[in-house]
Structure 1
Amino acid sequence: MEPRLDSFSSTSLQNNVLSPRTPRSTVYRKFEAGLDGLGENDEDELALLDEEERCRYARGLEMDDGFGPVGPPPPVSGEDKRAMALLCVLYLIQGVPVCHATSLVSTFKFSTGSMPFILQNHLSYSQLATFALSGYPYSLKLLWSPIVDSVFFSSIGRRKSWIIPMQLIIGTLMLYISLNIQRLMDDPSQHVAHLTNVFTALVFFSATQDIAVDGWALTLLSPENLSYASTCQTIGLNSGYFISYTVFLALNSETIAARWGVPRLTLATYLRFWCLASYSVTVWLFFKKERKEPASDSGLSIKEVYHQIWAICKMRHVRSLMLMFVFGKIGFAANDAATSLKMVERGLAREDLAIAVLINFPFQILAGWLVGSWSRGERPLRPWLLTFYPRIGFALSAMLVVYYFPAPPLSAGFFVFLVVHTVLTSFTSTIQFVGSSAFFTRISDPLIGGTYMTLLNTFSNVGTMWPKWFVLKSIDMFTEATCQIPDDSGYLGEVATECVTQHGKALCGDVGGHCLVTRDGYYPVTVMCMVFGVLFLLLYTVPTARRLQALQTTAWRVSF
C-alpha cells in the first residue's frame, strides 16, 4: 500500500482553531489587511468562501480579534454525541498510560504519578528523576507530528491508519509490563533503566496516538460543535487520571483491602485489564467509518511543514514567547515535582492522598468550565499572568506544610486543610491552562493552524516537564544524611557515611542503623525555584506578556 501525503492539521485539541469546511487560501491574508486589499484577481479565491464565511471574517475585521459576543450554542446532534463518546473513550485509553507518565503531581499520573508513590520506598530521588524522563515524549511530539498527520493509508483512513496500530502496541506493552512487573518490582533499584525504557516507549506510542486522535476530532465532530473536542479531551484524560491514580492507589492499598474485606488490586492485574480494554476499543474502531477528509489546502510536503516550524521559531515574538513559557514555571516546579512525595514521606497515607485527589476531581472539571469566560477578549493572558502570584504562594505554603507536617494519624481539621489547599492549587493551574490556551488560539495563523498550535503547546509542555528531572536530582544533591548506629562499639565493619542513595540506605540498614537527615534538599531547592520564579516573573514574564498581548494578530503571521 502506498502512503499518501497531506498537509499538517491540528494536533492539539486543548487549543482548537475552528476551521471552515471550505479550503483556506491567501484571501484570508487580504481580509486581515482590509477589504480594500481585495482586487479583481481575487474573485476566484473569494468564490471559495460561502456567504456566511465571508460575513463572519468581515465582522472579524471590525472586531479586530474576533472575540466578540457569541450567541447560544447550536444543539448537539446524535451523530456528534456518538462521536464525542468515542473521543472520550480514546482519550481515556490514551490517558491510562500517558496520564501516568507526563507529570508527577498534575494532570497525568501513571509512570510519574502513581508509579513514583509505588517506587518511592525503593528508589532515591535521583532514580525517580531518571524514571521521570519517561514522560518527556509527550511534550516533544511536535518532532514527529507532521509525519503522523501527513502519512496514511487511504484504504484504512487517515486517522485510523495510526490509531489502530498504536492501540495494539499500547495494549501489548501493558501486557508485557504486567507479565514482568513482579520481577522488576522485587528490586526496582536494579531495573530503573529497564522500567524507564519500557514506560518511555509506552508514552511515545500513546503520544503518537494522541496526535492522530486530535486530528480525527477535526472531522469527527461537525464544525459548529468542534469546540467540544477539548471538552472530550479534558473528560477523557482526567477520567484516566482519576481511575489510574485515585482508584488504583486506593484499591492497591493493603490497608483498604483489609478494612473493607476486598481483594487487593495488583499492578499486574490492573495493567492486564487495560490491555484487554485497549484491544476491545481497537476492535470497535474497525467498525467505525472514518469520514473522508477534503484534499490538502496548501499541498505541503512533510519537509515543507518542518520548514514552517523553523520559520515560525525564527520570529522574534515567538522566541520571546518560548522563553516565557519554558522558564516561567520554574517558580512552582519543585512544588509540582516533589511536594506530594514529601508528604507521603512525612507520614501522609497514600490512601488519604488519593481521597484528597478524589474530592478535587469534580472541582477540576468544574473549573475548566468556569474560567473559560475569564480568558476571552483582547487580554487572554491577563488571568494567566495574575495566577502566577497565588501559584508561587501555594508553593510556599506547601513547603511550610511539609516542614510542620504533624505526626500521623492526621486530625480531621488538618486533612480538610490539605483538601482545600489541593483544590485551590488545582484551580490556579486550571486558570493558567485556559488562559494560555485562549492566547494560543488568538495568535495562531489559521492558514497553518495545526503547525502553529502544536508548536505553542510544545513550549508550554516542555516548560512543565523539563524542570522535574533537575528538581529531583537537586533534592538528592542538596540532602545531607548520615547513618546513625545506636551502639557501634562492637562493630568492626564498614559504616555507611551517607544515607541519600539506595546503596547507602541499604548498607545502613544492614548494620542496624537508621538514616538521620541533617539537611533535606527539598527545602533549599524549593526556595531557589521560588526566588528564580519571582525574579523571572517580575523582570521578564510580566513585561513580555503585556508586550506580546498588545501586538496585533498580523504580527504573528509568517509569509511563505
Structure 2
Amino acid sequence: MDSISRYHRICSHAWLRIVLRSQRRTRKSNSPQPQKRGMTLPQNGHKTMASSIDTVQILPRAPRTTRGRDRVAWPSGDGEDVDEVELSLLEEEDKRQAEMGLTNGMDSEERGFKTKELDVRPLSPHDKRAIALLIVLYLIQGVPLGLALGSMPFLLREHLSYSQLGIFSLASYPYSLKLLWSPIVDSMFLPSFGRRKSWIVPMQMIIGTLMLFISFSSERLLEHPGENVHTLTAVFLILVIMSATQDIAVDGWALTLLSHENLSYASTCQTVGLNTGFFASFTVFLALNSEAFTSKWGLPLLTLSAYLKFWSVICFLVTLWLIFFKTEDKETLQDSDMNVVAVYKTIWNICKLKHVQSLLIMHVFAKIGFQANEAVSQLKMVEKGLGREDLAIAVLVDFPFQIFGGWLAARWSTPDKPLRPWLYAFWPRLGFALISTLIVYFFPKPPVTSAFFAFLVVHTVLQSFSSTIQFVGISAFHTRISDPVIGGTYMTLLNTFTNLGGTWPRYFVLKGVDIFSVATCKVMESGTEISMKAPECVSDQGKAHCADLGGQCITERDGYYHVSAICLAFGALFFVSYILPTATRLQALPVSRWRTALR
C-alpha cells in the first residue's frame, strides 16, 4: 500500500545499518585481517573508502560539500521506492562512516587507502543541543510531507475523481528530483547570514506561510475541491519543493552542527524527526480527523485548519529562533566547492556510462507492476467501507514488523550478490499486488469484521516486507557500484531514478482508472428510467450529484481492475524479458566498469 510503504521507507535507515554491520562481520569472519594502512585523502578532500569487487563500499555522501540527496517518499511507495516519495537513508550511513573514517574490514588495494575506526564519544552539551535542533528541523520537514503524501489523497478521495487525484499526485514529484537543484543549494548563500541558514530560514518561512494560508482556506478549498484541484496541487507542490530544499540544507548543516566524533547521530536525528512529523500528519491526523474514531474514544475532532495553524505557529517560532539566537559556524570553502557546473558535468558523465544507462532504464520501469496497487488499492478499500482510522491503525501495527523485517532482509543481503534479494522479492511483491486487487473485488460490506481486518493487517505486513527486501537489496547494490571519489553524486543520481520510477507512473495510473471506468446515473422521470453516462459517478461527489437529481450511480465497469491487470502484466513481462537478464549481468560486472573519469 502506497502510504504505508512511504511510512516504513522513512524508517529504513536502521535496517541499512544492520546490512552494513552484517556484511562487515561476514567479511571479518571469512577473510584474513588486512594489514593496517594509514588513511589518505583523495583529491576532492573527502575521507573515502574503497573495496574489492566482492564487497560493499561505504561511500562519501557527496563530493566535497555537494549534499544533494534523494530519499522519499514516505511516503512513493514501497520500501525501495519512496514510491512512492523514496527517502534514501542509506546515504546517511555512507556519510557518517565516510566522514568519521569507520573501517568496515574491506580490502582497499583497489584504491590504496583505508580508514581508521573511531569510537563515538559521550555527547557533549553542544552535541545535545545540536541533536535537538536537527530533530526539530527534520520534524518541520516531515509534517507537510505527511500531509501531501499521506493524508490529503484520502481526504480528497471523497470529492475527486481518480483523474483529479492524478493531478494532485503531481505535487509529490519534486521530492524525487532534488538532485536537479541540490548543487545550487550547497553553493549559493549569504556568508554573513550562514551557509545553511540562508536556505533553511526562507524555506521554513514559506512552509509556515503556506500552511497558514491552507488553514484559512481549507474549508473553502475542500468544500468544492473539484473546482480547486489545480490550486490545491499548486500549493502542495510549492510546499513539497520548499520541504525538499530545506532537507538538502539541513543534511549539510548536520555535518557541522555535530562534532566529528558524533556524526553518527545525524541519521538518528533524521529518522526521529521525519518519523515523528510524518506519523503525526498521516497516522495521528487521519485518526483524529475521523468522526467515527473520535466519537468512539471520546476525543475532540481535529480539523485540517486547526492542525495546520498549530504547525505553522511552530514553524514560525523555530525560524525566528534560528534568525535571532542561532549563529552558524562559518565554513571555509575552496573554489571547487562552489563549482556548480562541475557537479552537473559529473552527473552527465555518469549517465553516459552504458551500464548506468541500463540500470536507469530498469529503475524507470521496474515499479510499474506495483503502481495500481500502491496508488489506488487503499483508496478503493476506503471507498468500499474501510475507515480511515482503520487504515491509520494498520500503519501503526505495520511499523514494528518492518523493523524486524528489515533485520531479516539485512541477513539475506550478501556483498557479492546484493541484487539477489531485490530479484527474489519481485514475484512476491507482484503477488501481493494481485491479492490486493482481489481484496478490493471481494471486499465485504461494512462494517468490517475483526477477522477480515486482521487479514488486511497481515497482508499489509507481508506486502511491506517484500518492499523492504527490495529496498535493502537495491540500496546495497548502489553502495557497491558508486565511485567513492564522487559517491554522493553517484548515489543521489541512482536513488533519484529509483524514486522517479515509483512516482512518474502514478498520474497515468490514476487517470487510467477513470478512462477505463464506465458509470451511468439512472434517473426515474415520469415512470421512465433515464440512463445518463456520468464519468463523475466514479467519485463520491458525483454520486451525490446524481442522488440530488433523484437518481442512482451504477458502475458498469470499474477501471481499477483493468489498470491493475495492465500493470501486473507489464511488470511480469518486463521482469522476465529485461530486469532478470539485465540485473544478473550488471551484478556480475567488476566495480571498475562503473567508474567514470573526473573532469
Query: Into which bin does the TM-score normalised by the smaller protein fall?
Result: 0.7 to 0.9
Partner of 1:8: 66
Q: Which moved more, 1:310-319 or 1:62-71?
A: 62-71
Query: Aligned runs of 1:488-507 on 2, under 5 Å?
Result: 489=527, 499-500=537-538, 505=543
CA distance in 2, matches of 1:92, 1:155: 26
Q: CA deviation at 1:411?
A: 1.3
CA distance in 2, matches of 1:426, 1:388: 12
Q: CA deviation at 1:159?
A: 1.5
Partner of 2:141: 94
**Structure-1-length-normalised TM-score:** 0.83
CA distance in 2, matches of 1:359, 1:503: 32
Q: CA deviation at 1:90?
A: 1.8
Partner of 1:444: 482
User: Unaligned stretches of 5+ in structure 2?
Assistant: 1-63, 72-87
- The code of the aligned residue for 1:139 comes to S
Q: CA deviation at 1:272?
A: 0.6
The alignment status of 1:207 with 2:244, answered yes or no, reads yes
CA distance in 1, matches of 2:68, 2:91: 8
CA distance in 1, matches of 2:260, 2:412: 24
* TM-aligned CA distance change 1:492 to 1:558, over 3 Å: closer
Is contact 1:475–1:522 with CA below 8 Å preserved after alignment? yes
Q: Percent identity?
A: 58
Listed one character per residue, the Cα deviations across residues 219-248 of structure 1 (whole Å, up to 9, x for unaligned) are: 334555545434433333232221111111
Q: CA deviation at 1:138?
A: 0.9
CA distance in 2, matches of 1:304, 1:63: 25
Partner of 1:240: 277
Partner of 2:471: 433
Q: Which moved more, 1:214-223 or 1:290-299?
A: 290-299
CA distance in 2, matches of 1:248, 1:424: 25
Give secondary structure in 1 for the equivalent of 2:302. coil
Partner of 1:285: 322
* TM-aligned CA distance change 1:405 to 1:167, over 3 Å: same
CA distance in 2, matches of 1:58, 1:360: 34
User: Unaligned stretches of 5+ in structure 1?
Assistant: 1-5, 25-52, 99-108
Partner of 2:578: 540
CA distance in 2, matches of 1:404, 1:337: 19
Listed one character per residue, the Cα deviations across residues 319-364 of structure 1 (whole Å, up to 9, x for unaligned) are: 1111111110111111100010000011111111111112123333
CA distance in 1, matches of 2:427, 2:116: 30
Q: CA deviation at 1:94?
A: 0.5
* TM-aligned CA distance change 1:521 to 1:318, over 3 Å: same
Listed one character per residue, the Cα deviations across residues 289-340 of structure 1 (whole Å, up to 9, x for unaligned) are: 4344453484451122212211111111111111111110111111100010
- The code of the aligned residue for 2:421 comes to P
* TM-aligned CA distance change 1:370 to 1:212, over 3 Å: farther
Q: Which of residues 223, 231, 234 in structure 2 aligns to 1:186?
A: 223
Give secondary structure in 2 for the equivalent of 1:514. strand
Is contact 2:207–2:243 with CA below 8 Å preserved after alignment? yes
Partner of 2:201: 164
**Structure-2-length-normalised TM-score:** 0.78
Is contact 1:18–1:223 with CA below 8 Å preserved after alignment? no
Q: CA deviation at 1:7?
A: 5.1
Is contact 2:70–2:496 with CA below 8 Å preserved after alignment? no
The alignment status of 1:417 with 2:448, answered yes or no, reads no
Is contact 2:103–2:115 with CA below 8 Å preserved after alignment? no
The alignment status of 1:356 with 2:356, answered yes or no, reads no
Q: CA deviation at 1:116?
A: 1.5
CA distance in 1, matches of 2:93, 2:397: 37
- The code of the aligned residue for 1:533 comes to G
Is contact 2:368–2:505 with CA below 8 Å preserved after alignment? yes
Is contact 1:130–1:192 with CA below 8 Å preserved after alignment? yes
The alignment status of 1:526 with 2:564, answered yes or no, reads yes
The alignment status of 1:60 with 2:107, answered yes or no, reads yes
CA distance in 2, matches of 1:432, 1:66: 31
Q: CA RMSD in A?
A: 3.3
CA distance in 2, matches of 1:66, 1:389: 40
Query: Aligned runs of 1:73-88 on 2, under 5 Å?
Result: 79-88=126-135
Partner of 1:217: 254
CA distance in 1, matches of 2:568, 2:435: 12
CA distance in 1, matches of 2:433, 2:235: 32
Listed one character per residue, the Cα deviations across residues 435-461 of structure 1 (whole Å, up to 9, x for unaligned) are: 222222222223223322221111011
Give secondary structure in 2 for the equivalent of 1:448. helix
Partner of 2:384: 346
